[in-house]
Amino acid sequence: MNEAQRVDLGVALFIPYRYMEDRVFRVLQEAGFDDWTLAQCRVFQRIAPDGMRLTDLADQAQLTKQSAGVLVDQLERLGYVRRVPDPTDGRARLIVIEQRGRRAAELAIATSAEILSEWKAYLGTRNFTLLHQILDQLREITDPYAR
Protein backbone atom coordinates (compact mmCIF):
# COMPACT_ATOMS: atom_id res chain seq x y z
CA MET A 1 0.00 0.00 0.00
CA ASN A 2 1.50 3.33 -0.98
CA GLU A 3 1.42 6.50 1.10
CA ALA A 4 -1.54 7.95 -0.85
CA GLN A 5 -3.67 4.89 0.01
CA ARG A 6 -2.93 4.99 3.72
CA VAL A 7 -5.71 6.03 6.06
CA ASP A 8 -5.39 7.96 9.27
CA LEU A 9 -4.12 5.74 12.12
CA GLY A 10 -7.27 6.35 14.18
CA VAL A 11 -9.40 5.18 11.26
CA ALA A 12 -7.07 2.21 10.73
CA LEU A 13 -7.65 1.18 14.35
CA PHE A 14 -11.41 1.66 14.03
CA ILE A 15 -11.92 -0.36 10.82
CA PRO A 16 -11.06 -3.79 12.33
CA TYR A 17 -13.12 -3.00 15.43
CA ARG A 18 -16.12 -2.07 13.31
CA TYR A 19 -15.68 -5.21 11.19
CA MET A 20 -15.68 -7.38 14.33
CA GLU A 21 -18.66 -5.55 15.84
CA ASP A 22 -20.70 -5.84 12.63
CA ARG A 23 -19.90 -9.52 12.19
CA VAL A 24 -20.69 -10.42 15.81
CA PHE A 25 -23.95 -8.46 15.68
CA ARG A 26 -24.94 -10.21 12.44
CA VAL A 27 -24.20 -13.66 13.91
CA LEU A 28 -26.26 -12.80 16.99
CA GLN A 29 -29.17 -11.70 14.82
CA GLU A 30 -28.99 -14.86 12.71
CA ALA A 31 -29.04 -16.96 15.91
CA GLY A 32 -32.31 -15.40 17.04
CA PHE A 33 -30.98 -12.55 19.12
CA ASP A 34 -32.61 -10.14 16.69
CA ASP A 35 -34.64 -8.08 19.13
CA TRP A 36 -31.95 -5.67 20.29
CA THR A 37 -30.09 -2.79 18.73
CA LEU A 38 -26.39 -2.21 18.27
CA ALA A 39 -26.56 0.57 20.89
CA GLN A 40 -28.06 -1.89 23.39
CA CYS A 41 -25.35 -4.45 22.55
CA ARG A 42 -22.62 -1.88 23.08
CA VAL A 43 -23.90 -1.18 26.58
CA PHE A 44 -24.54 -4.86 27.29
CA GLN A 45 -20.97 -5.86 26.43
CA ARG A 46 -19.64 -3.60 29.18
CA ILE A 47 -21.60 -5.25 31.98
CA ALA A 48 -19.21 -7.05 34.32
CA PRO A 49 -19.79 -10.81 34.67
CA ASP A 50 -20.71 -10.39 38.35
CA GLY A 51 -22.92 -7.36 37.66
CA MET A 52 -22.41 -3.65 38.07
CA ARG A 53 -24.12 -0.46 39.11
CA LEU A 54 -25.74 1.78 36.53
CA THR A 55 -23.43 4.71 37.31
CA ASP A 56 -20.35 2.56 36.62
CA LEU A 57 -21.88 1.16 33.45
CA ALA A 58 -22.78 4.63 32.19
CA ASP A 59 -19.28 5.86 32.95
CA GLN A 60 -17.61 2.99 31.09
CA ALA A 61 -20.00 3.29 28.14
CA GLN A 62 -19.40 7.06 28.08
CA LEU A 63 -23.12 7.77 28.38
CA THR A 64 -25.17 9.84 30.74
CA LYS A 65 -26.75 7.87 33.56
CA GLN A 66 -30.15 8.63 32.05
CA SER A 67 -29.20 7.31 28.59
CA ALA A 68 -27.64 4.19 30.05
CA GLY A 69 -30.73 3.71 32.22
CA VAL A 70 -33.01 3.79 29.18
CA LEU A 71 -30.89 1.18 27.39
CA VAL A 72 -30.75 -1.03 30.49
CA ASP A 73 -34.53 -0.74 30.88
CA GLN A 74 -34.88 -1.95 27.29
CA LEU A 75 -32.42 -4.81 27.84
CA GLU A 76 -34.32 -5.80 30.96
CA ARG A 77 -37.65 -5.88 29.11
CA LEU A 78 -36.02 -8.09 26.45
CA GLY A 79 -34.73 -10.52 29.08
CA TYR A 80 -30.99 -9.94 28.65
CA VAL A 81 -30.41 -8.39 32.10
CA ARG A 82 -32.18 -7.73 35.36
CA ARG A 83 -31.67 -5.45 38.31
CA VAL A 84 -31.05 -6.98 41.72
CA PRO A 85 -30.21 -5.51 45.14
CA ASP A 86 -26.49 -4.90 45.61
CA PRO A 87 -25.37 -7.24 48.42
CA THR A 88 -22.78 -4.67 49.54
CA ASP A 89 -25.27 -1.77 49.73
CA GLY A 90 -28.97 -2.38 50.24
CA ARG A 91 -29.87 0.98 48.73
CA ALA A 92 -28.10 0.26 45.44
CA ARG A 93 -29.03 -2.05 42.57
CA LEU A 94 -26.81 -4.16 40.35
CA ILE A 95 -27.42 -4.91 36.71
CA VAL A 96 -26.78 -8.62 36.18
CA ILE A 97 -26.83 -10.70 33.03
CA GLU A 98 -29.73 -13.12 32.67
CA GLN A 99 -29.60 -16.56 31.01
CA ARG A 100 -30.64 -15.11 27.62
CA GLY A 101 -27.85 -12.57 27.90
CA ARG A 102 -25.33 -15.24 28.86
CA ARG A 103 -26.26 -17.28 25.78
CA ALA A 104 -25.83 -14.21 23.56
CA ALA A 105 -22.51 -13.38 25.24
CA GLU A 106 -21.22 -16.93 24.71
CA LEU A 107 -22.03 -16.70 21.01
CA ALA A 108 -20.41 -13.26 20.76
CA ILE A 109 -17.26 -14.53 22.50
CA ALA A 110 -17.07 -17.57 20.21
CA THR A 111 -17.53 -15.40 17.11
CA SER A 112 -14.86 -12.96 18.31
CA ALA A 113 -12.46 -15.86 18.89
CA GLU A 114 -13.14 -17.10 15.36
CA ILE A 115 -12.39 -13.66 13.92
CA LEU A 116 -9.18 -13.36 15.93
CA SER A 117 -8.13 -16.80 14.74
CA GLU A 118 -8.66 -15.67 11.14
CA TRP A 119 -6.64 -12.51 11.75
CA LYS A 120 -3.85 -14.51 13.37
CA ALA A 121 -3.75 -16.86 10.36
CA TYR A 122 -3.62 -13.88 8.01
CA LEU A 123 -1.01 -11.86 9.91
CA GLY A 124 1.03 -14.78 11.18
CA THR A 125 1.55 -15.62 14.83
CA ARG A 126 4.49 -13.26 15.28
CA ASN A 127 2.79 -10.18 13.82
CA PHE A 128 -0.51 -10.98 15.53
CA THR A 129 1.23 -11.31 18.91
CA LEU A 130 3.18 -8.10 18.31
CA LEU A 131 0.00 -6.23 17.35
CA HIS A 132 -1.72 -7.44 20.50
CA GLN A 133 1.24 -6.44 22.68
CA ILE A 134 1.42 -2.98 21.14
CA LEU A 135 -2.31 -2.40 21.54
CA ASP A 136 -2.15 -3.59 25.17
CA GLN A 137 0.68 -1.13 25.75
CA LEU A 138 -1.23 1.72 24.09
CA ARG A 139 -4.26 0.87 26.21
CA GLU A 140 -2.24 1.78 29.31
CA ILE A 141 -2.39 5.46 28.32
CA THR A 142 -5.74 5.54 26.47
CA ASP A 143 -8.14 3.42 28.54
CA PRO A 144 -9.08 4.78 31.94
CA TYR A 145 -10.51 1.34 32.82
CA ALA A 146 -7.34 -0.63 32.09
CA ARG A 147 -6.34 -2.42 35.24
Distance separating alpha carbons of residues 139 and 145, to the nearest angstrom: 9
Domain residue ranges of the chain, discontinuous segments joined by +: 7-35+99-139, 37-97
Residues in the chain: 147
146 phi and psi angles, rounded to 5 deg = -65, 135
* pTM of full prediction above 0.75: yes
pLDDT at residue 144 in the model: 81
Distance separating alpha carbons of residues 43 and 64, to the nearest angstrom: 12
pLDDT at residue 147 in the model: 61
Nearest C-alpha neighbor of 144 from the set 77, 59, 82: 59
Q: Which fold has domain 37-97?
A: Arc Repressor Mutant, subunit A (1.10.10)
pLDDT at residue 93 in the model: 94
Q: pLDDT tens-digit profile of 81-140? A: 999 999 888 888 999 999 999 999 999 999 999 999 999 999 999 999 999 999 999 999
Distance separating alpha carbons of residues 84 and 95, to the nearest angstrom: 7
Nearest C-alpha neighbor of 131 from the set 120, 147, 115: 120
Distance separating alpha carbons of residues 103 and 82, to the nearest angstrom: 15
Rg over alpha carbons for the chain, rounded to the nearest Å, is 18
> How confident is the model over 50-63, as a mean pLDDT?
94
Distance separating alpha carbons of residues 139 and 147, to the nearest angstrom: 10
pLDDT at residue 81 in the model: 98
Distance separating alpha carbons of residues 1 and 10, to the nearest angstrom: 17
Collapsed DSSP state (helix, strand, coil) of residue 30: helix
